[in-house]
Amino acid sequence: MSLRLSAVRLRVADPARLAGFYRDVLGMSVQEIGESRRVGYAGEDADLLLLPGGRGYSHDQGHRYWKIGITLPDVDLAAEDLRAKGYAVSEPRQFLDIGYMAHLSDPEGFVIELLQHDFEGNRPENAADPAAPFAEARVGQITLRTGDIASEDAFCRAQGMKLLSMQDVAAYGFDLHFYAFAQEAPPDPDLWAVENREWLWKRPYTTLEFQHVQGAQFAPVPDYQGIEVEGLPIALSDAFGDPVLPS
């Protein structure tokens, strides 16, 4: 059986209320699982499993867990739609040679990145329906921070994940590494190549992204309860000690 990154598990104060935000604002579907809620898009990308027991989340750059990334065809339309619904979102911009993006937080403070399929200036005309800007959205990334990419790499490869892209962000003191349970290879065999990035943002599955700051120490996040992998035979702990659980 092939493996699939199927969920990120977050402990939240009010799963039902937060699920309503992901449904009504970001266009996800909702499944009730007791007091928990599973929210996500149709397709092979990962869901968010919203678990009870959180007491209010406050993001910090020193945390192991960072964000989810939602990939979609038109970030400008998505940002306009969010503002019209009363939600604060940063002004979309091209971040270096990484991607065209904007950021917001959900009502409990968890960070969301909106990442466009194409770089600024490369987006096709009429890429998305203005009436449904999240219709083709996917959870493209689950992002963790690390000071030891070698250990993360060894763990990911041991589970059968493939490194799809590396991205140098030296101006900000880090680099990015993207892993997935994928059979396909990026267009350019040089994994640092900029040419692979728009290809990566169009993948239908979720990648596990590491923001690597060499030698840095990051604090565990109790409200981050790990990831789920469909097809995983047993529960594991990742290189940091966070849970990796069968779906």
Least confident of 1-5, 14-18, 42-46, 201-205: 1-5
Cα angle: 183, vertex 186, 188; to 5 degrees: 145
Computed over every residue of the chain, the mean pLDDT equals 97
Q: Which residue ranges form the domains of the chain, and what is each CATH number? A: 4-246 (3.10.180.10)
Question: What's the angle, vertex CA 118, arms to CA 84 and CA 47, rounded to 5?
Answer: 65
Whether pLDDT at 55 is above 90: no
End-to-end CA distance of the chain: 13
pLDDT digits (tens, 9 = 90+) for 140-168: 999 999 999 999 999 999 999 999 999 99
Give dist(CA 101, CA 35) in Å, integer.
33
pLDDT confidence tier of residue 1, bands split at 50, 70 and 90: low
Alpha helices, H only, 3-158? 15-24, 75-84, 149-158
pLDDT at 246: 97
User: For position 56, what pLDDT does the model report?
Assistant: 81
Question: Radius of gyration (Cα) for the chain, nearest Å?
Answer: 17
Spell out where the chain has E strands: 4-12, 29-33, 36-40, 47-52, 65-72, 93-95, 99-105, 111-116, 138-146, 162-169, 174-180, 207-212, 224-230, 236-237, 243-246
CB 140 within 8 A of CB 70: yes
DSSP string across 147-167: S-HHHHHHHHHHTT-EEEEEE
pLDDT in tens, 79-99: 999 999 999 999 999 999 999
- The dihedrals phi and psi of 108, each to the nearest 5 degrees, come to -100, 0
